[in-house]
Chains A and B, each alone.
Chain A
Amino acid sequence: MIVDPDVVGLSRLQFALTALYHFLFVPLTLGLAFMLAIMESVYVMTRREIWKRMTQFWGVLFGINFAMGVATGVTMEFQFGTNWAYYSHYVGDIFGAPLAIEGMMAFFLEGTLVGLFFFGWDRISPVKHMLVTWFLALATSLSALWILIANAWMQNPVGAAFNAQTMRMEVTSFSEVIFNPVAQSKFVHTVSAGYTMGAMFVLSISAWYLLRGRNIEFAKRSMTVAASFGLAASLSVVVLGDESGYTVSENQKMKMAAIEAMWETEPAPASFTLFGLPDVKTHETHAAIRIPWVMGLMGTRSLDEPIIGIASLVDDAKLRIADGIKAYDAMLVLRENKDDAQARAILAAHDKDMGYALLLKRFIDDPRKATPADIQKAADSTIPNVPVLFWSFRIMVACGLYFIALFAYAFWRASKRRLDGRGFLRAALWSLPLPWVAAELGWIVAEYGRQPWAIEGVLPTALGASSLTAGQVWISLGGFVLFYTALAVIDGYLMVKFARKGPDGLGMWPKQPDSIPVTAQTA
């Protein structure tokens, strides 16, 4: 049975919207939590009241954002079951485990400690409260670790095999799932992106206070923390993003080729296309500006390995589809008679390609009856949306490089104790949205670039959907859009309101105590 294409399309749209929306809040939580822990540590070490007040003030903004992150995370934990029921059945044996472990190891700690962060100031000693904040920060990042282990398995499904009797993938090696190389590079890349976002948030709002001449002591200290933390984080996000790119090129060649709009295999070392207009019809990139060697070095870490182009990857897909059909046929035989030794041997030989046979299900009911034209269509469907990936990737990388420059400059100014200069402060203020742009585009590159697969090479997205009616998904999609928009408006309103109020307006710090000379302020 094939799921209604409308249901698939609507479910994908809903997943993308809810995930992108959730991802507006989560990275900020990741970054701010660590900055709170750093500020509070300075308080505990120096016992200067201002650092406690800084922790509390940024804590208020953290709280608003945290609530949104938790709220929108609920959807994510359950949406696999509601909208992707066949996916959940097919890979739940592997994919469910990291989600459950995330709950036990990370989210429980996070959820339990966050209350104490807000309500515990007068109930526990400063050292204990600081430890609570550190564990809170640690738990947010641990949470990211397990979610990314789950996600990495979608990109690179290691440690599992198909079982014809249960019609699903089952774990063969749990340690391979946990120590998936894709998970490691993705984890560091993603949490660093969150840290960068947190740093930018504090940097920008502090810059706004300085531009207004308000909360100067507060803002300069906050900025110094943000500049140092942000510099480290943005360096890490780019360097480890590159590592992430390298692992992509090893196991998702099609995604890599699409990001680079590399239609044909280039002789090694491949050049990097800085600018270009990919044309999906003619399979050409117009007006391309290319930098020789760079792509080959980045993607393969060598001078003699080529990066495979889209055309030859489609040819590979055709071969894998043909092999996959053999596996599919053997699977059907085994389902009737699980002791058929011949079928068992065929399945064992070709089960790595069975997912490719499932690609045909979008076009015909029975993959065994595929014509060469069907196979061609299925193979062509393995090409993701090249222009979107090409540009998303480039804008994301440009943002990343810009963050390094901005934080390096801010760090230099902070170390010279010269956090003034209206040009610099304005740049810091107006850069506020960029980490969100970069993070959302990063999600698009990683997940939209995985299409047409839900699990790379194993399960096509179109097969993973639940057997729902389009009407049902319209209800939930419409509901989410309305509900989330309302929440976004309120959240944005409160964030701006409380950032504008500032520590002085909230009564956390006196209004005009700025008699301390400029040079002594960043102590």
Chain B
Amino acid sequence: MTAHLYLLLGAVILLLIFFLLSRAGLRHEQNRDGCEGDAQEFKRDSLAAELSARIFSAEDPEFVSSETCASAARAFRQERTTLALEWLRGVRTQVNRLFRSHLQAARQNPDLKPAGELRLGMHFLTFQLTTGILYIVIRVRGPLPAARLVLHSLLLSEKMLKMAKDVVPSTGTTVSVELLGLDSNANHQGEAR
């Protein structure tokens, strides 16, 4: 049994070295190909914000399903799903560029703080994971049920935050809000609606 484990370890080491070597080259090529200039800022123009809100709104699908036949409504839902996936992919691409640009700057910065860098890496990973899950949910169920699911989980987490506040008044809030990717302004705006 131990022997098998060691053999497996040997094979994994070899595979990892091949994989990481090719990955390092690939990432470098991607960086060289450009995107540096426009990656500095996360772009959110009002038109894009309005469009993205429209993708997840219930208004259009309800109107289409009330006015047209079932097959047309289904085709509309499919189109919306494609649009939502494309939008999410666009946001993820922007975030990837932004993070790559950060890494390019950080790797040459002699003041780099390993702990801060690890925290930032975790933030990025959390973002990738949550948007990855969202992508799967949109693909499987469509944008509307995905939006409902996100809203439901946000409400649940807000309830949990309140409960945590009641139990331990001074802790828990900041971390959870950070993990959700919400700033306080966004939170209040959401509640106001």
Partners in one complex: no
